[in-house]
Chains A and B, each alone.
Chain A
Amino acid sequence: MKFRAAAIAAVGFLGMVDALYLTVMRGVRVPCSATGGCNEVLTSEYSTIMGVPLSVIGLVFYVTVFCLAVLDVFEVAPLLKWIFRLALPAFVVTLILLYLQAFVILHFCQYCLASAAFVTTIFLIAAWPRRATQNLN
């Protein structure tokens, strides 16, 4: 069993649900009991890139990562390297989005924070030195 890829697939699945939820709920006020600022973040000018909602971009990322991880688990091809290559820019974008929430929009969205945690986890698992985890792989 390829534990690293399986773990990434599991986190990717959670990310898919989160991104799909935000895509379905676009334009609708979402419940936001944990952080209070979801609607401010989700309707801010930073919620789209060239007209494309960030939730849709996130969804494409999670679906791709999930597919690659599942293919790796079934040993169709070793794809962790490719997951890392996708997760690295995603992690950088996540840091930028966290900065925007904290210092520009001045509100936090719990769904975006969850997504940030998912991307960070995927990035860390994919970036973990192979030698340290070779027994698990």
Chain B
Amino acid sequence: MYYLRMSNKTKPLIVILVAVVMAAGIAVYWSKQSSASGAGANASIEANAGGGHIRGRESATVTLVEFGDYQCPACGYFYPMVEELLRRYPDKVKLEFHHYPLIQMHPFALAAAKATEAAADQGKFWEMHDLIYKNQPIWSRSPNPEAQFLAYAADLGLDANKFMRATKSPEIEKRILEDIQRGSDAKVASTQTFIVNGQSLDPLPNGVDEFAAKIGVVPPTSK
């Protein structure tokens, strides 16, 4: 009744205020429902996956497990953050990388994973891993990324014939499939999943400082 007696200039302000509050309420409720439904919140991960490629000191106290897809833009986005983390806290953090190529979405992700494993056979996994992540925007848009990977192998001084043979070997495919199986066992919902102490990092951190706080290498309040 009070609303009907309001002036025509007050009514729209009330409508706007009510609508904005309603929109905020719906959005917050919706976001809580999304989080509760576990969209990527892998609460059931019970242990680190084991295996994989390790970067950093064996004695480091925190093992950051990554299930990565070389063609996933989000993985490329987090790559420099992880590298900075390893550089800043060499005594505290080590990375355990596992392949988790989503081949339905990323047609070249498997070829990229094979290239890193082929480089691993010649002792250069991390060097190829770095090159592939750093150049993701280039090769992922190339019609023939295998040629790019071969060029990276040449840049790293790898034996090109061995490299090419290795990329086609069933042994390498088996290694990648085992990683995918580990990811499935760990209930990895998507690529660019980080796991620390059996818990998936969700929400993902914004920036290296938050990342360090989330994995417990610095106190949560420090910036």
**A37-B105, A76-B8, A76-B9 as given contacts; A17 in contact with B30, CB under 8 Å:** yes
Which residues does chain B contribute within 8 Å of A40, judged by CB atoms?
72-74, 105
Q: Count residues on chain A whose CB falls below 8 Å from chain B CBs.
A: 34
Contact: A30 with B27, CB < 8 Å?
Answer: no
Which residues does chain A contribute within 8 Å of B15, judged by CB atoms?
70, 74
Which residues does chain B contribute within 8 Å of A32, judged by CB atoms?
39
**Nearest-CB residue, chain A, relative to B10:** A74
Mark out the residues of chain A between 1 and 57 whose CB falls within 8 Å of any chain B CB in the assembled complex.
Answer: 9, 13, 16-17, 20-21, 23-25, 27-32, 36-37, 39-40, 43-45
Contact: B204 with A27, CB < 8 Å?
Answer: yes
**A25-B34, A31-B34, A36-B105 as given contacts; A66 in contact with B16, CB under 8 Å:** yes
**Nearest-CB residue, chain B, relative to A62:** B23
Does B205 have its Cβ within 8 Å of any Cβ on chain A? yes
Contact: A43 with B16, CB < 8 Å?
Answer: no
**A20-B23, A24-B31 as given contacts; A107 in contact with B40, CB under 8 Å:** no
Contact indicator per residue, chain B 37-71, by CB within 8 Å of chain A (1) or not (0)? 10111000000000000000000000000000000
Which residues does chain B contribute within 8 Å of A97, judged by CB atoms?
none
Does A124 have its Cβ within 8 Å of any Cβ on chain B? no
Which residues does chain A contribute within 8 Å of B11, judged by CB atoms?
74
Q: A16 to B26: give the CA distance in the assembly, Å.
A: 10
Q: A73 to B202: give the CA distance in the assembly, Å.
A: 43
Which residues does chain B contribute within 8 Å of A43, judged by CB atoms?
73-74, 77, 192, 204
Does A71 have its Cβ within 8 Å of any Cβ on chain B? yes
Contact: A24 with B27, CB < 8 Å?
Answer: yes
Which residues does chain B contribute within 8 Å of A36, judged by CB atoms?
105
Does B24 have its Cβ within 8 Å of any Cβ on chain A? yes
Contact: A28 with B16, CB < 8 Å?
Answer: no
Does B189 have its Cβ within 8 Å of any Cβ on chain A? yes
**A28-B202, A29-B202 as given contacts; A20 in contact with B39, CB under 8 Å:** no
Q: Range of interface residues on chain B?
A: 35 or more
Does A67 have its Cβ within 8 Å of any Cβ on chain B? yes
Q: A24 to B203: give the CA distance in the assembly, Å.
A: 11
Contact: A70 with B19, CB < 8 Å?
Answer: yes
Does A105 have its Cβ within 8 Å of any Cβ on chain B? yes
Does B138 have its Cβ within 8 Å of any Cβ on chain A? no
**Nearest-CB residue, chain A, relative to B41:** A29
**A29-B39, A43-B74, A107-B105 as given contacts; A13 in contact with B19, CB under 8 Å:** yes
Q: A74 to B73: give the CA distance in the assembly, Å.
A: 46
Contact: B203 with A17, CB < 8 Å?
Answer: no
A residues apposed to B, CB below 8 Å: 9, 13, 16-17, 20-21, 23-25, 27-32, 36-37, 39-40, 43-45, 63, 66-67, 70-71, 73-76, 105-107
In the complex, the 8 A-B pairs of residues with the closest C-beta atoms, listed nearest first: A29-B40, A20-B27, A28-B203, A31-B39, A16-B23, A74-B12, A43-B74, A21-B27
CB<8 Å pairs between A and B, sample of 13: A16-B27, A17-B23, A17-B26, A24-B31, A25-B31, A27-B203, A28-B40, A31-B34, A39-B192, A40-B105, A45-B73, A73-B12, A74-B11
Task: Add 8 more A-B contacts to A74-B9, A107-B105 (CB < 8 A).
Answer: A16-B19, A21-B27, A24-B27, A36-B105, A39-B192, A40-B72, A70-B15, A76-B12
